[in-house]
Structure 1
Amino acid sequence: MDNYIEKSINVRVPVHTAYNQWTQFEEFPKFMKGVKEIRQLDDTHVHWVAEIAGKHKEWDAEITEQVPDQRISWRSVAGTGNSGEVQFRPLGTSETEVRVRMGFEPESMVEKIGDALHAPDRRVEGDLERFKEFIESHGQESGAWRGEVHGGDRTA
């Protein structure tokens, strides 16, 4: 990937609550700006529909690693190129650090200019702030998937 972002935020919920909510991909549009829809295709594949730099984008992503209460890693397999990992680290019994590391490939000139102006960094920061507000205001996850994925294959 050409570009790389790393951002983190502390949320005032236990690690299992933060992780469980993050496994509810179809709810991402509630806190991710520009994400219009996510469809869970199966345990390891999701289809994204988003607006990036004013352009309609779609892509399929594969969950490559998923370990409950620790991390979720992905890579795009069709469409807009991106990959990354979200890590969850307990900070005591009722607080969690959520760290996003993401690589992406700006495609258009507008995306390249936006990247030079750090627009993707601000977008990820805003998404994490909205996730924090979402999970802290609800106090509990809306669902959970506790299976494991290794090498793109569900193992548990």
Structure 2
Amino acid sequence: MTTDTHSTSTSRLRHDPLVRGLGWASALLGVPQVAAPAAFARALGVGDSPRHRVATTAVGVRELTAATGLLGRPRPVWLWSRVGGDLMDLAALTRALKNHDGRGVGRTVAATAAVTAITATDVYAAVTRTHRSAPVELTATTTVNESPDEVHSLWSDLERLPDFMAHLDEVRVTGPRTSHWRASAPFGKTVEWDAEITQDVPGQLIAWRSVDGADVDNSGEVRFEPAPGDRGTEIRVTLRYDLPGGPLGKAAARYFGEEPHQQLDDDLRRFKQIAETGEVVRSEGAPGGKRARGEFPQHPARPLTEGELKEALA
């Protein structure tokens, strides 16, 4: 990974509200643990013996170190350090509960519940802000019974892309070769970026890439080639991007029904329908769970009802 990539990632995290919030949380927890370890330990209901004071001070130093990293020059490693620290805290609190003499046990239980919630937040932040793999590359192909010029013209209408691309919420043209995109991402997140068209050859090719500052760096191209036997146009799509959360994010996306390869195939199927019929064919029989299928519900073929038949013949 290049220095420029590190700088871009740091810049994004520095302005990330969740990352900054976790940084301030570390600072607010660390100061009293270092300044008054005995009082802090008593507040947790674990006692203020020398061993507990030393442990509390060590945790406070760890929190302040994480705060310095997250508020100064944030990188995913600081988020993962919080996750590691959370697991250590949970282990310590669990041991304290097992060996508790009964005094202040309610406070210890409450502290354990709070740390469990914080751990979940830290894991979410670390996974969704970590990019550990090379950019994901997706490819897909379909054949549309229209000419290359017609298909190219339809795809070039960027503001219509959300009509068939399930993950896209909005594409807004901002200039002759620039546009702003907003899309849904795993874990219910929304990502946005500005993009520029790098190549546009009528009837042959459209290529684009995101500009600096994108939530998700991405690029891609769509090639339009005459299909064999004069059967319309063969569309070849290539997408490259960093999936939020790296491999963990990819696994989670697949688990929650947002597997990117299948999503791209579904997008092309809907594009083919729009190009050939002017609309997406709908069916109630599409299986639930996949967001794309939920947004583009389909209805199985069925005989017309008596009322519908009368209306059609009227």
SS in 2 for 1:42: coil
Maintained 8 Å contact 1:70/1:88? yes
The unaligned stretches of length 5 or more in structure 1 are 140-156
- Partner of 2:176 in structure 1? 43
User: How far apart are residue 111 of structure 1 and its match?
Assistant: 2.8
The one of the two structures with greater contact order (alpha-carbon pairs below 8 A, sep at least 6) is: 1
User: How far apart are residue 107 of structure 1 and its match?
Assistant: 1.9
The unaligned stretches of length 5 or more in structure 2 are 1-133, 280-314
C-alpha distance after superposition, 1:18-63 (max 9, x if no partner):
1100000001111110211100111111110111222111011110
| Residues 135 and 106 of structure 1: CA distance in aligned 2, closer, same or farther (over 3 Å) | same
RMSD of Structure 2 on Structure 1 (CA) = 2.0
Maintained 8 Å contact 1:15/1:94? no
More displaced, 89-98 or 41-50? 89-98
User: How far apart are residue 116 of structure 1 and its match?
Assistant: 6.7
User: How far apart are residue 114 of structure 1 and its match?
Assistant: 4.5
| Residues 127 and 134 of structure 1: CA distance in aligned 2, closer, same or farther (over 3 Å) | same
Distance 2:144 2:249 in 1: 30
Structure 2 residue 247 is matched with structure 1 residue 113: no
Distance 1:132 1:111 in 2: 29
Q: TM-score, normalised by structure 2?
A: 0.42
Maintained 8 Å contact 1:76/1:83? yes
Structure 2 residue 223 is matched with structure 1 residue 90: no
Give percent identity, aligned residues only.
35
Structure 2 residue 270 is matched with structure 1 residue 130: yes
Larger strand share, 1 or 2: 1
Greater Cα radius of gyration, structure 1 or 2: 2
Given candidates 57, 69, 91, the residue that maps to 2:203 is 69
More displaced, 122-131 or 89-98? 89-98
Distance 1:115 1:121 in 2: 11
Maintained 8 Å contact 2:250/2:259? no
Q: TM-score, normalised by structure 1?
A: 0.81
- Partner of 2:144 in structure 1? 11
Q: What is the number of equivalent residue pairs in this alignment?
A: 139
| Residues 93 and 42 of structure 1: CA distance in aligned 2, closer, same or farther (over 3 Å) | farther
Given candidates 23, 26, 32, the residue that maps to 2:165 is 32
User: How far apart are residue 14 of structure 1 and its match?
Assistant: 1.1
Distance 1:20 1:114 in 2: 36
Segments of 4+ moved more than 6 angstroms? 115-118
C-alpha distance after superposition, 1:56-104 (max 9, x if no partner):
1101111011100010111111311111110000125551011101111
Larger helix share, 1 or 2: 2
